[in-house]
Amino acid sequence: MVLFVGFILVLFAAYLAWLIYAAIKFPLPFVYNLRSLWGRKSSTLTTASAISLVVAIFIVVLSLAQGISKAFVTSGLPNQALVMRPSSRFELNSSITRDQARIIKSNPLVAKDNMNPIASAEVIVIKLFNKSDGVGSNITVRGMEVTGRSMRPQVKLVSGRWFQPGLSEVTVPVKMQLRFPELVVGRSFKMGGRQWDIVGTYDAAGSSFDSEIWSDVNDVMQAFKRETYSTVLVRLRSEDDLGSFTLQMEEEKRLKLEAVPERSYFKELTKAGDPIRIIGNLITVILSIGAMFSAMNTMYASVASRTKEIGTLRALGYRRREILASFQWEAIALCVLGGLGGSLLSFLADGIQTGTTSFDTFSDISFAFTITPRLLAQGLFFSVGMGILGGLLPAWRASNIPLTEAMKA
């Protein structure tokens, strides 16, 4: 499959290179074709606007899929591992006793800061909050030790202050406030039979921590009358220790636990976006084929109405392949025009914050549509591809009109 895609890409690149060469060597037909786009304003505009809608959808769908992956991929550090109960798959399902947590923290492979292990025993609970549309959605509440905060360097305090242990306080993500109107600094809510004050907001730079509420681990455990932690997050002295650390967690008789590299844990979670991604891909594939047909139609019409002009070019001495190249350029320019329009359109969705819920953990995942330069480049590349495929047959036809017939027209 990869080989096949690679082969197609090489073919594309070679063809494009030849097209560029032809355009430089024989600028006259090239310029003629581009100007004829301008000459047929209404049909150019119709096709380009239809293509721009398709390219816009393409970019938005990509940004959606990327937003979901970003929420997870940027969440973990390469030298950190999550210790969980074996085969629990998710933090929520895991449980670790206080004794086990102590043993984990004293492992010599764990990095230290002023003699204290850099590790955080954490507890995960779920709390139902109302979204702005009045429908309830579960939010992950993470109780952590103070070190837990510094183990997630991408998380920055935005307003107020961090929660203090022992005071039943929480800090909430600033990105969630739009979707969950209850989460206002200074307000409080009831959870596990206690009243919790919201004392600050943080920003987790698009990672999955933007979908959690943070508090102190002991406060949460007491409120929910829990005896066990969910997981222990540890920072290792180096990334290379991951393997031996995992083995030790498994083999130590008092533990028999599973250590998962934080990165791979979050990678596994990206699957929550699968339904949206499948639907998105389906949409783009079908739409792009449809748009290609439409570009083809426009190009055929444009070729048919210019038989005489093509004949003139041929009579001037331009060969078939130069005509092919220049008509191909016309198709590409048409689609790129649409691609540029689509890029502009896609900015309408930029920054919209939305969310889905993981069916594995039953908790909310916030993410944003982010239109990045990379996505725009992909959109443009996509439109060039449409131009090449959609323009190939009409351009072929243009180059194969017999000279005598063309002159007669």
Partner 1 sequence: MKFLHLVWKSLMRSKRRTFLILCTLILSVFLITILQSLLATLDAVSNKPTEGNRFVVRHKSGLTQFLPISYGEYLRQQPEVLAVANSQWFGGYYQDPKNFFANFANDETTMFQVFSDRISGLTEAEIKEYQRDRKGCIVGQILADKYGWKVGDTIPLTGTIFPMSPQLTIRGIFKGRMASEENTLYFHYKLLEEGVQFMKGKTGAFWIKTKTSDDIPRVANRIDTHFANSPVETMSEAENAFYLTFVKMLGNIGAIIHGVTIAVLIAITIVTVGTMSMAIKERTTEIAVLRAMGFSRARVLFLLMAEGLLLVTLGGALGIGLASLVAKILREILGSALIFLQDFRLANETILLCMGMALIIGFISTIIPALAATRRSIVEGLRAL
Kind and range of the H or E run holding 194: strand 194-203
3-state secondary structure of 382: helix
Give residue for tokens 């190939």. 392
- Minimum CB separation of residue 356 from partner 1 in Å reads 4
Q: Of 13-21, 31-39, 166-174, 274-282, which part binds partner 1 (CB under 8 A)?
A: 274-282
Residue 89 makes contact with partner 1 by CB under 8 A: yes
Residues 188-207, one symbol each (x = binds partner 1 by CB under 8 A, - = not), give: ---xxx--------------
Contact (CB, 8 A) for 306 and 406? no
Q: Select the residue interacting with partner 1 from 36, 164, 297, 307 (CB under 8 A).
A: 297
279 binding partner 1? (CB under 8 A): yes
Using CB under 8 A as the binding rule, whether residue 320 contacts partner 1 is answered as no
Confirm if 249 and 197 have CB atoms less than 8 A apart.
Answer: no
Q: Identify the residue among 108, 136, 166, 402 touching partner 1 (CB under 8 A).
A: 136
Binding to partner 1 (CB under 8 A) within 227-246 occurs at: none
Name which of 147 and 361 has its Cβ closer to partner 1. 361
Which listed residue (69, 137, 164, 307) binds partner 1 by CB under 8 A?
A: 137
Distance CA 52, CA 226 (A): 55
The answer to whether residues 168 and 192 touch, using CB atoms and an 8 Å cutoff, is no
For partner 1, give the closer residue by CB, 45 or 111: 45
| Interaction mask 90-109, partner 1, x per CB under 8 A | --xx----------------
| Distance between CA atoms of residues 260 and 333, nearest Å | 50
**Does 344 interact with partner 1 (rule: CB under 8 A)?**
no
Instruction: Give the residue among 205, 159, 135, 155 at the shortest CA–CA distance from 357.
Output: 135
Q: Applying CB under 8 A, does 399 fall inside the site for partner 1?
A: no
Question: Which residue reads 């004392």 in tokens?
Answer: 199
Please state, in angstroms and as integers, the Cα–Cα distance from residue 261 to each residue in 79, 235, 270, following that order: 8, 10, 15
Phi, psi of 367 (to 5 degrees): -155, 165
Nearer to partner 1, 90 or 318 (CB): 90
Q: Specify the amino acid at residue 28.
A: L
Residue 181 found at the interface with partner 1 (CB under 8 A) = no
Interface residue with partner 1, options 181, 243, 275, 351 (CB under 8 A): 275
Site for partner 1 in 33-72 (CB under 8 A): 42-43, 46-47, 49-50, 53-54, 56-57, 64
C-beta separation of 115 from 245 below 8 A: no
**Total residues in contact with partner 1, by rule CB under 8 A:** 55
* 118 burial level (CB within 10 Å; 0-12, 13-18, 19+): buried
**272 near 360, Cβ under 8 Å?**
yes
- CA angle 234-240-95, nearest 5°? 30
Helices (H), 74-208: 98-105, 146-150
**Residue of the chain from 289, 389, 392, 407 that contacts partner 1 (CB under 8 A):** 289
Q: Does 359 bind partner 1 (CB under 8 A)?
A: yes
Burial 28-54 (b: 16+ CB within 10 A, else e): ebbebbbebbeebeebbeebbebbbeb
Does residue number 276 form part of the binding site for partner 1 (CB under 8 A)?
Answer: yes
**Closer residue to partner 1 (CB): 8 or 286:** 286
Is 77 or 92 the residue whose CB approaches partner 1 more closely? Answer: 92
Q: Which of 171, 270, 298, 399 binds partner 1 (CB under 8 A)?
A: 298
Which span sits near partner 1 by CB under 8 A: 153-161, 260-268, 312-320, 354-362? 354-362
Binding part of the chain for partner 1, among 75-83, 85-93, 168-176, 310-318 by CB under 8 A, reads: 85-93
| DSSP run (H or E) holding 353 | strand 353-357
Tell me which DSSP letter residue 318 carries. Answer: -
Check binding of 409 to partner 1 (CB under 8 A).
no
E strand or H helix that includes residue 162: none
301 touches partner 1 (CB under 8 A): yes
- Quote the least distance from Cβ 290 to partner 1, whole Å: 4
Question: In angstroms, rounded to a whole number, what is the distance separating the alpha carbons of residues 92 and 243?
Answer: 24
Residue numbers at the binding site for partner 1 (CB under 8 A)? 42-43, 46-47, 49-50, 53-54, 56-57, 64, 85, 87-89, 92-93, 125-128, 135-138, 191-193, 225, 274-276, 278-279, 282-283, 286-287, 289-291, 293-294, 296-298, 300-301, 354-357, 359, 361-362
